[in-house]
A and B are shown apart, each in its own frame.
Chain A
Amino acid sequence: MTDHAVRNILIVGGGTAGWMTAAAVSAKLAGLPIAIRLVESAEIGTVGVGEATVPHIRHFNAALGLDEADFMRSTQATYKLGIEFRGWGKPGDSYIHPFGAYGAAIAGVGFHHHWLRARQGGDATPLEAYSLPVMAARQGRFAPPSPDPRALASTYAYAYQFDAGLYAAYLRAYAEARGVVRTEGKVADVALRGEDGFIAAVTMENGERIEADLFIDCSGFRGLLIEQALKAGYEDWTRWLPCDRAAAVPCETVEASTPYTRCTADAAGWRWRIPLQHRVGNGYVYSSQHIGDDDAAAALLAGLEGKAQADPRFLRFVAGHRRKQWSKNCVAVGLASGFLEPLESTSIHLIQVAVTTLLELFPDRGCDQADQDEYNRVMTLEFERIRDFLVLHYHANQRTGEPFWDDRRNLPIPDSLAYKMELFRDRGVVVKYKDGFFLEPSWLAVYLGQNIVPRIYDPVSDSVPDAVLAHRLKAIRGSIAETVRAMPTHDDWIARFCAAGSGTPARTVTA
């Protein structure tokens, strides 16, 4: 060990980002002489919009050693097999982006090529008939994947829909049990070192001065340390992702909870619906250029399935990311690092990637420029690849006559996305990169779900005789339908495995 080792870390800001960071850092650094503190103020509300997650959260929880049932009970969690997109291609369309592949390769050729071939031959079966998680989601069923890699039921993953505020509280208890010291209060001042511009300390409103070797900025959009003190700069992506506001409101549950999140296209953006055990989270992400706050709130309330439990809360943001998410001895995590609308539930995922990458590159007190460069390279790539995937949803629409949607279809898109779309349109090729969160099945779900159909399919598909292909397709459909029939309903599974305990309203369990 060197003399330059980090001895203490200060996390500024609680919320989902702050407590996920505190939990992961305290778990991974256990055994090393490093003190971890977190300052937060109960007066500053947390955003907690990101209530839906992607399957990677399960690795995060597993690395912490969390008990799944306990975690789910404590956070009012439900299961998530994918996201339903309503009205994103044409009004009235619906597709589900699942956490799992469609079918399986035949003769070394990707399944979707065979599906395209069958479709050209007149077979009208929708692609989703070949996705186990979509078929289960459509029927409101859930069971955990099989551990047997040969089983069809092993070919999907799942995530959670939970109350982010409760998740933060759960992780707070975890982190505090592992020695993280929490201090209540607001930061009044940030002091920089004269010689190198590193952060020396923060001063709290009560006058306490807290020094640290490494600062983690989880202060939210404003970026108290990374932007206000260190002027990291912001890469603004409004030209591609113009939504800059959201209105959020929870409502009562009135029907069986769905094992998926729903994103419904609306006049000036889209509405989310996230079913939890005790309520349904709702919101409207919109462009303030295209709709006023009052009209947006009215549209949001009009679309609720149950009684609103509060007045809508409004949030403002700018799509993009800090030019340097790590600058000097400060790493920004969560909204302090950038913002991408939660269309694909990536907010919590980006926190997870940030914390994991920080731990992989855990610095000395000097914070080598090499570590900062690599962190910023990795995180920028992550943001850019998610950005392209989000822009695809907006761009590939057929909602003619609606100004917001006409703009999305007609205005330029990032070159990197244009290239991917061209390749897919031409011959169904999904361009692959080593890094980047969304893999081939995700791109297929959105391309095909939003009616982008390739000009040709892979010619090698023709090496499979028609009759053999028809037989294989039928067999896959059949075994998916059979497997789904054997699954319990989502509500049944929750009731059996992880229903939130007493103190929450009893819920009707549908058979």
Chain B
Amino acid sequence: MTGSPLSSVAILGGGVAGWMTAAALTWVLPPACAIRVVETTDAAPCGALSTLPALRGFHGLLGLDEAAVMRTARGTFKLGARYGGWTAPDQDHVEGFSDAGANLDGVAFHHHWLRARQRGQAGRYEDYSLAAVAGRLGRFTPPSEDPRSVLSTLSYGLHLDAAGYVAALRATAGRVQARAGGIAEVVLAPDGVIAEVVLADGERLVADLFVDTTSDGRLIGATPDGGWIDESTALPCDRLAQREVAPRANPPPLTEFEAVAEGWLRRVPLRGGDAVTLAYASDLTPDDAACSVLGGEAKIVRLRNGRRERAWSGNCLAIGPAASQMESLNGDDAQAIQSGVSRLIALLPTADGSPLAAMEYNRLMAETFDRARDMAVLRYLAATRIDPLWARARRGAPPAALAYKQAQFESRGRVVLYDEETFVEGAWVGAFLGHGITPRRHDRLADRLPADQADAALARLRGLIRQAALAMPTHAGALKDRS
């Protein structure tokens, strides 16, 4: 290699973003490379994380034991998310972590469902997703590795307490030197890179790479490339009120999202309590009103939907809220951090900087954010509430990529997937149909299967899935086994 390897990395901020980065870097950076974390108070972890199955892959790479993580972070299982009050006050749907149905006769399942639905023979789309059915029934079992078993269609994510999760990550990052501190000044060199970061107590930090995991991007915002692309028109909430309430006896293995006048309410089951969050717009709902929606004192967190134009500039790379923020309406907490960390590792710079790697990183992260944003925006656009916040969210035109994707789905159930999608085809189908966006026609090739045969196949599948779900232990029981 020409170009010397990184000899020092300084991670400013900490929290989930900082410690996921630190834990992963200990695996790939040579022992000679110093890794430091300076924990700032603004980045301290709070609330709960509702995560996608992909996070478990990250744990696998880090050698993190899932049971241990769940113990430390009061973790529960997540088979998907339930959205209530979105299409109508008394209606809800579940988007589960298993693809609905199965290809029949080489045609994607949702076309068969659409066809059967015209004859009133289909039931709900989610009735064909084992994860969704088990989730509603409050049941859980890990996926089977036998591809012939219906249990092999399952996958699951985790509900985690953020502070506990940070503790678990920290425990694996043994060689990292951590300290608490405040950032007094970010000193730029004449060429715009960070020369040093001065801490409140006077310590001057110098590093080959600075990772900004602060809550507001103190470092990246100081660089010449640190502009912010605002997304608050399509995603109207700018505050989160967080509180913990008493646990339920058998909480469903689901994150629950309820559309309410002020915004949306999220309930995440943790061991020992449910973390509830209200997302709202501060100009429409005062903080104390938000607290009373939650029924008591709550921690208020500011939110600024959007992303950096460039998350990596010179020797400074932002991960987490410093790089992008988005209402966590998709249940994809920590996903943006995970993809940021993975791509940093795939494009690891040398000590003298790697502008081309940064350019590629910024392209990938921008695409990733925009595609996940489309999913969140879709949920607002498809909602039927008419309160001021909801009407406001529908005022702007949808992003072009989402408009095209929705038009394609509405036309004939086609799911367009672009580069760097977080959500796979099945997730988009579940979201579209769940939110009441239905294609005008189904794939003609589905008509090859005689209608009575198709109906019988669908009924059999529904029965099989329900039976499999009923045979699972309760979520509470599965958690007891795991602890």
Contacts and interface: CB of A to CB of B under 8 A. Distances in A.
Interface of A: 1-2, 5-6, 28-32, 108, 117, 120, 359-362, 364, 368, 370-371, 373-374, 422-423, 426-427, 429, 431, 433-435, 455-463
B200 interface: no
Interface in B419-444: 419-421, 441, 443-444
Contacts of A29: 445, 448
22 contacts: A28-B106, A32-B444, A32-B445, A108-B61, A117-B1, A361-B412, A361-B414, A362-B443, A362-B444, A364-B441, A370-B407, A370-B410, A373-B404, A374-B414, A423-B356, A429-B360, A434-B421, A456-B1, A459-B348, A460-B348, A461-B1, A462-B5
B418 A434 contact: yes
A412 B419 CA distance: 26
Given A30-B448, A370-B408, A429-B357, A459 B5 contact: yes
A457 B2 CA distance: 8
A130 B61 CA distance: 26
Interface in B341-387: 345-348, 350, 354, 356-357, 360
Contacts of A117: 1
Contacts of A456: 1-3, 350
Contacts of B354: 426-427
A359 B445 contact: yes
A422 B420 CA distance: 21
Given A2-B441, A6-B444, A373-B404, 13 more contacts: A28-B445, A108-B28, A360-B443, A361-B412, A423-B356, A427-B347, A427-B354, A429-B346, A434-B421, A455-B2, A456-B1, A457-B1, A459-B5
Contacts of A32: 444-445, 447-448
B193 interface: no
A463 B443 CA distance: 50
Nearest to A110: B346
**What 4 A-B pairs have minimum CB-CB distances, sorted nearest first?**
A370-B411, A426-B356, A31-B448, A456-B1
B246 interface: no
The residue among A423, A435, A457 with the most chain B CB atoms within 10 A of its own CB is: A423
A362 B346 CA distance: 40
Given A374-B414, A426-B357, A429-B347, A462 B30 contact: yes
A427 B414 contact: no
Interface in B377-410: 404, 407-408, 410
Contacts of A463: 28, 30
A429 B364 CA distance: 13
Given A1-B447, A120-B1, A374 B441 contact: no
Contacts of B447: 1, 32
Contact of A368 (B106, B404, B412, B420): B412
A32 B443 CA distance: 12
Interface of B: 1-3, 5-6, 28, 30, 61, 106, 345-348, 350, 354, 356-357, 360, 404, 407-408, 410-412, 414, 416-421, 441, 443-445, 447-448
A429 B2 CA distance: 15
A28 B408 CA distance: 22
A457 B350 CA distance: 10
Nearest to A113: B1
Given A364-B441, A427-B356, A457-B1, A371 B421 contact: no
B315 to A, nearest CB: 15
Nearest to B345: A460
B412 A462 contact: no
B51 to A, nearest CB: 22
Contacts of A6: 444
Contacts of A460: 28, 345, 348
Nearest to B451: A1
Contacts of A457: 1
Contacts of A370: 407-408, 410-412, 414
The residue among A31, A120, A368, A427 with the most chain B CB atoms within 10 A of its own CB is: A427
Nearest to A461: B1
A373 to B, nearest CB: 8
A422 B354 CA distance: 12
Nearest to B6: A459
Contacts of B445: 28-29, 32, 359, 362
Nearest to B105: A31
Contacts of B345: 460
The residue among B106, B357, B360 with the most chain A CB atoms within 10 A of its own CB is: B360
Contact of A423 (B106, B360, B448): B360
A2 B114 CA distance: 13
Nearest to A63: B106
A117 B360 CA distance: 22
Contacts of B3: 455-456
Contacts of B411: 368, 370-371
A186 B1 CA distance: 64
A425 to B, nearest CB: 8
A172 to B, nearest CB: 23
A423 to B, nearest CB: 6
A290 B347 CA distance: 42
B417 A434 contact: yes
A371 B412 contact: yes
Nearest to A431: B360
B374 to A, nearest CB: 15
A374 B106 CA distance: 21
Contacts of B360: 423, 429, 431
Contacts of A364: 441, 444
A374 B1 contact: no
Contacts of A2: 441
B338 to A, nearest CB: 15
A462 B7 CA distance: 13
Contacts of A30: 448
Nearest to A361: B414
A42 B437 CA distance: 50
A362 B447 CA distance: 12
A427 B404 CA distance: 35
Contacts of A458: 346, 348
Contacts of B407: 370
A6 B419 CA distance: 33
A119 to B, nearest CB: 11
A454 to B, nearest CB: 10
Given A370-B411, A427-B357, A460-B348, A433 B419 contact: yes
A108 B61 CA distance: 9
B447 to A, nearest CB: 6
A459 B444 contact: no
B416 A374 contact: yes
Contacts of A462: 1, 5, 30
A422 B444 CA distance: 45
Contacts of A433: 419
A459 B1 contact: yes
